[in-house]
Amino acid sequence: MKKEKAKKTVVLGGRTVYCYETASLDVDPQCGFSELCPQELPVPGALEIVPELNRQSEIAGIRIASKDAHPYDAPWVATEKKPQLTKISGFKDLDLHWNRHCVPGTNGFEFLPGLDSEAYAFVAYKGIEPNKHPYGACYHDLANTESTGLIEFLIMNHIKNVIVGGLATSFCVKNTVVQLCTSGYFQVFVNLAACRDITGVNTDEAITEMESAGAIIVQNLKGGKK
């Protein structure tokens, strides 16, 4: 941690927070969720969040991320007969079919251009097992019982505030934010300028759910509330 950061405070959502006890969390900012991988899960405007993610990291004492790390073959991979967003039954940790995405060793797994992989103090990998497709970065399972270590890492580093941005708002970002809020350890800020959502979903519902969990929503790092 840089010493000058430890002396600074910033105002987020009307609250003054100390940078040294604040973490910047980039949720799944991967090529598989961008137009760079059109056959995977491209989120409109995904590449636009990179400058804002970098900006929020500059006011935090520590920077962390999550990444999907999916196997090539899994029961949730969409097919012609079972297209994307079709419901899945019979698996406790699978709920929907998705296009194949973010497979290690492929371009889809990599961070978006402009993000420095060496800048992260911790990366939580999720979705590694074929029979599990979690969304939130804090747990490997949908029941939120198998930790990825992210919460523990934040506690170990005495973090009290977490600024969150990433992809996509209504799925991985929302679930991560709710998990962090539910843990009871952190004040969570959602930076909407650093988020983008999947076409056709109701982003406002996700924002309402995050606020209900205790998150503070800001339009950008200038500190304005939603």
Q: Beta-strand (E) ranges in the chain?
A: 9-12, 15-18, 22-27, 62-68, 122-126, 161-167, 187-196, 216-218
pLDDT attached to residue 6: 47
Which residue is it, tokens 């800001």?
218
For the chain, percent of residues with pLDDT exceeding 90 = 92
Instruction: Determine how many CB atoms are found less than 10 A away from the CB of residue 39.
Output: 10
Q: What is the pTM of this model?
A: 0.94
Q: Which of 84-93, 99-108, 187-196, 214-223 has the lowest mean pLDDT?
A: 214-223
List pLDDT tens digits, range 146-171.
999 999 999 999 999 999 999 999 99
Distance CA(23)–CA(12), nearest Å, equals: 13
List pLDDT tens digits, range 75-131.
999 999 999 999 999 999 999 999 999 999 999 999 999 999 999 999 999 999 999
Distance CA(79)–CA(89), nearest Å, equals: 16
Instruction: Check residue 215 and report its DSSP letter.
Output: P
